[in-house]
Amino acid sequence: MTKNHDPRVRIIDRRTLSDGFIHLEEITLEQDMSDGETVTLKREVHDHGSAATILLFDPRRQSVVLVRQLRVPVLLQGDPAYMIEAPAGLLDDDTPEVAICREAMEETGYHVEKATHLFDAYMSPGALTERTSFFVGLIDVARKVGEGGGLSHEGEDIEVLEIPFDAAFEMIATGEICDAKTIMLLQWARLNRSSLGP
């Protein structure tokens, strides 16, 4: 059972709605409101595990390695279905550091010697349980050691992109990069660029 750290909120029922790739529950809870009233609420919560993401930065070339892949929910919104993003993935029972180094290799073919943890964030706390750990890893783009491209048995078909950092940052304003985790990582790098090498 989930620990409840706030006495104003009490979970009174949990019902599984779907248990496929995602786990979807209907949560019934009581909440003590600020006016003293107690109300009963129902919320649907999507749980598919915690995740990690990384900005791969080449300090010599002042470039980043990002990926482009199909995102079906974006397609359903009527936006371009192939999004440019930082590598990311679910933890799958690993620590965030181990998971993100694995994902970086699978998606891009780059081995990350040291993934530096930056911060954790809930990406959409109104409906998702997912907490994402954010990392930066310094690489040399000339030293790609794997194929990259994702795992074919998981239906992944990932394009690996090297983009000059300044150009990538400008792609936020043009809408070419509209993925939240990638924007957050690029903003962090803009603020901390002097710590990333020459």
177 lies in a domain? yes
Give the pLDDT of residue 1.
Answer: 43
84 with 136, same domain?
yes
57 with 105, same domain?
yes
Give the pLDDT of residue 155.
Answer: 62
- Supply the DSSP string of 103-134, one letter for each residue: HHHHHH----S-EEEEEEEES-TTTB--EEEE
124 with 76, same domain?
yes
Long-range CB contacts (within 8 A, 24+) of 112-121: 112/54, 112/56, 112/137, 112/139, 113/137, 113/138, 114/138, 115/54, 118/185, 118/188, 121/184
Q: Tell me the sheet residues that pair with 122.
A: 131
Question: What is the C-alpha to C-alpha distance for residues 5 and 100, in angstroms, rounded to an integer?
Answer: 29
22 with 76, same domain?
no
Give the pLDDT of residue 157.
Answer: 83
Give the pLDDT of residue 162.
Answer: 97
Long-range CB contacts (within 8 A, 24+) of 180-183: 180/123, 181/53, 181/85, 181/86, 181/88, 181/123, 181/132, 181/134, 182/53, 182/66, 182/84, 182/85, 182/86
Give the pLDDT of residue 149.
Answer: 75
32 with 62, same domain?
no
162 with 76, same domain?
yes
pLDDT tens for residues 160-195?
A: 999 999 999 999 999 999 999 999 999 999 999 988
Give the pLDDT of residue 74.
Answer: 92
Give the pLDDT of residue 28.
Answer: 93
33 with 60, same domain?
no
4 lies in a domain? no
Question: What is the C-alpha to C-alpha distance for residues 137 and 114, in angstroms, rounded to an integer?
Answer: 6
Domain count, the chain: 2
Question: What is the C-alpha to C-alpha distance for residues 153 and 106, in angstroms, rounded to an integer?
Answer: 12
Regions of the chain with pLDDT less than 50: 1
124 lies in a domain? yes
Tell which of 17, 32, 47 closes a domain.
47
Give the pLDDT of residue 119.
Answer: 98
70 with 17, same domain?
no
pTM recorded for the entire structure: 0.89
198 lies in a domain? no
95 with 124, same domain?
yes
76 with 140, same domain?
yes
Domain span including residue 188: 51-193
82 with 118, same domain?
yes
